Amino acid sequence: MMFIGAAEKFLCPPSLHMGGYIDRKGLSQGTHDELGVKAMCFIDSEVAPVFIVSCDVLDIPVDWQGRVYESIKGFLSLDDFHLVIASTHTHAAPDIQFVSPPEQTYAETVFETILSVCREAFQSKEMCTRFSFGTTLISDIGCIRRQGQRIALPLTVQAFYTHSRSDKPQGIIVHFPCHPTILGADNRWYSAEYPGVIASRLASVFEGACVCFFNGAAGDISARCTRREQTFREMERIGNELAERACRLIRNPDKVVGVREDWSFHAASREVLLQPQPLNDALLTTLSNSVKTETRSAMSSVQADRTRHTLLQALQAWRSGWLANAKPVRVQVMAVSFSACVDYVFWPGEPFSNYAKIIQHARTHPVVLVGYAGGVGYLPDVDADDDVSYEVLMSQYGRAAGQRLLAASRGLLETWERGEAWS
């Protein structure tokens, strides 16, 4: 028997520096649309409870998983449970990771809000009667931005129902792997970006539902080559298009699973140590030459100009020694399985899209790779020697980090497929 609880709160940040763009100037001018923190809690008498949290911020500080875990353990008197906190990766919110004192005060507000929604989700739990799951491919929004190649991206939606809301979902998980960069560096208004449009629209259609948006393997995916303009109007167009497709998946899902007394979900996590990638002078020379080549090239399109601009930013970061400041860090990989219907695997950082394909390969049911559960930067599937592009060059932990996370994920999923207990 499974119980589900859900809760959400909205944030009211003051005028602060915004994260996401190196070349953004000035403080925020105000709020265009609300930033939020959403939590869902899954409870079963046979397994440890699971908390999943979605925050409208750029990144989550890596140490927050442990800090929030210890706080929840104390005030809810839980001996064992699983927790993951992921950002939607909006580029239109205050920076809470690399912060000055004003941003630090706001970061603590976000932290306390996470604790509050987890407490409310746990205390508001009701018996889950069924859940539905659906997925579809969206072909006109995403592209591999460093190449300009359009790519079809999976939109996945899972809806959970209770006795008191048998006709409307109590909670909805939406997953879509694409950078929320419809708005550009010139925007100085707070916004949850297109994920916020999706959540707002679904909460309106399915009145009272808590909608948790999770981004995916989007390290190399954005709408750079597909967006028509970088405006709120375009953000709302893309968000509403995705929300409409999500509504269809809720109303006409691929699968509906009734939750029986003998049914349960499973969750597990593993710790992974990430080591900074070594820097070398030869690669810096290669990067400098690449930037010169790109600068000499005829770049007539906005997309090409943006690609060149970010490459120059990467060169500046290398020369400033920013990449050399990375330290070894311990992170968590968490996996959650719902009745052999769908598995979620949560990674820190910004995994490249190919990792989602690798994890899905040879699995008998959908596996959803969620990223941004801890701010460790880009996780490329190639080395900088082979791909001189912004996303690869700005990775502090490199391809080796992605391989370590991949090995841990496979270990969790393969243990489950063999029917062994997760720990």
What's the burial of 289, exposed, middle or buried (CB within 10 Å: 0-12/13-18/19+)?
exposed
Position 237 scores a pLDDT of: 98
Q: Does residue 187 contact residue 93 with C-beta atoms inside 8 Å?
A: no
Claim to verify: residue 155 and residue 298 sit in the same structural domain: no
Task: Provide CB contacts within 8 A for 32, sequence distance 6+.
Answer: 92, 189, 190, 191, 232
Residue 365 has pLDDT above 90, yes or no: no
How many structural domains compose the chain? 2
Q: Across residues 288-302, what is the average pLDDT?
A: 54
Does residue 294 or residue 198 have the better pLDDT? Answer: 198
Please give the Cα distance from 128 to 291 (Å, whole number): 55
Confidence band (pLDDT; 50, 70, 90) for 423?
A: very low
Position 147 scores a pLDDT of: 77
Claim to verify: residue 318 and residue 381 sit in the same structural domain: no
Q: Across residues 9-25, what is the average pLDDT?
A: 93
Claim to verify: residue 208 and residue 321 sit in the same structural domain: no
Claim to verify: residue 188 and residue 296 sit in the same structural domain: no
Residue 7 has pLDDT above 80, yes or no: yes
In a domain, 120, yes or no: yes
- Report the percentage of the chain scoring pLDDT > 70: 88
Claim to verify: residue 302 and residue 349 sit in the same structural domain: no
Domain boundary among 308, 325, 342: 325
Claim to verify: residue 307 and residue 180 sit in the same structural domain: no
pLDDT tens-digit map of 30-84 = 999 999 999 999 998 778 899 999 999 999 999 999 999 999 998 888 889 999 9
Claim to verify: residue 156 and residue 34 sit in the same structural domain: yes
Q: Distances from the Cα of 210 to the Cαs of 202, 316, 421, in angstroms?
A: 9, 42, 31
Position 414 scores a pLDDT of: 86
Confidence band (pLDDT; 50, 70, 90) for 265?
A: confident
In a domain, 422, yes or no: no
Please report which helix (H) or strand (E) contains residue 128, including its range: strand 126-138
Claim to verify: residue 282 and residue 255 sit in the same structural domain: no
Across 79-88, 367-376, 383-392, least confident range = 383-392
Residue 312 has pLDDT above 50, yes or no: yes
Residue 292 has pLDDT above 50, yes or no: yes
Q: Across residues 321-339, what is the average pLDDT?
A: 87
Confidence band (pLDDT; 50, 70, 90) for 294?
A: low
At position 92, the amino acid (one-letter code) is A
Position 324 scores a pLDDT of: 72
At position 301, the amino acid (one-letter code) is S
DSSP states of 132-195 as a string?
Answer: EEEEEEE-SS-EETTTTEE--EEEEEEEEEETTBSSS-SEEEEE------SS-TT--EE--HHH
Claim to verify: residue 238 and residue 182 sit in the same structural domain: yes
Residue 293 has pLDDT above 50, yes or no: yes
Claim to verify: residue 188 and residue 286 sit in the same structural domain: no
Position 391 scores a pLDDT of: 84
In a domain, 37, yes or no: yes
pLDDT tens-digit map of 109-166 = 999 999 999 999 999 999 999 999 999 999 999 999 877 789 999 999 999 999 888 8
Position 112 scores a pLDDT of: 97
Position 392 scores a pLDDT of: 84
Q: Across residues 389-412, what is the average pLDDT?
A: 91
Task: Provide CB contacts within 8 A for 132, sequence distance 6+.
Answer: 158, 159, 161, 250, 253, 255, 256, 257
In a domain, 381, yes or no: yes
Q: Across residues 287-315, what is the average pLDDT?
A: 61
In a domain, 423, yes or no: no
Confidence band (pLDDT; 50, 70, 90) for 272?
A: very high
Task: Provide CB contacts within 8 A for 18, sequence distance 6+.
Answer: 24, 27, 28, 91, 92, 93, 94, 95, 188, 190
Residue 326 phi, psi dihedral angles, 5° rounding: -65, 145
In a domain, 248, yes or no: yes
For residue 357, give the 3-state DSSP assignment. Answer: helix
Q: Across residues 297-303, what is the average pLDDT?
A: 50
Please give the Cα distance from 113 to 157 (Å, whole number): 25
Confidence band (pLDDT; 50, 70, 90) for 320?
A: low
Claim to verify: residue 351 and residue 263 sit in the same structural domain: yes
First to last CA, the chain: 20
Position 300 scores a pLDDT of: 42
Domain region containing 138: 2-271+329-385+391-417
Claim to verify: residue 292 and residue 228 sit in the same structural domain: no
Handedness of CA 346, 352, 356, 358 (dihedral sign): negative
In a domain, 102, yes or no: yes
In a domain, 118, yes or no: yes
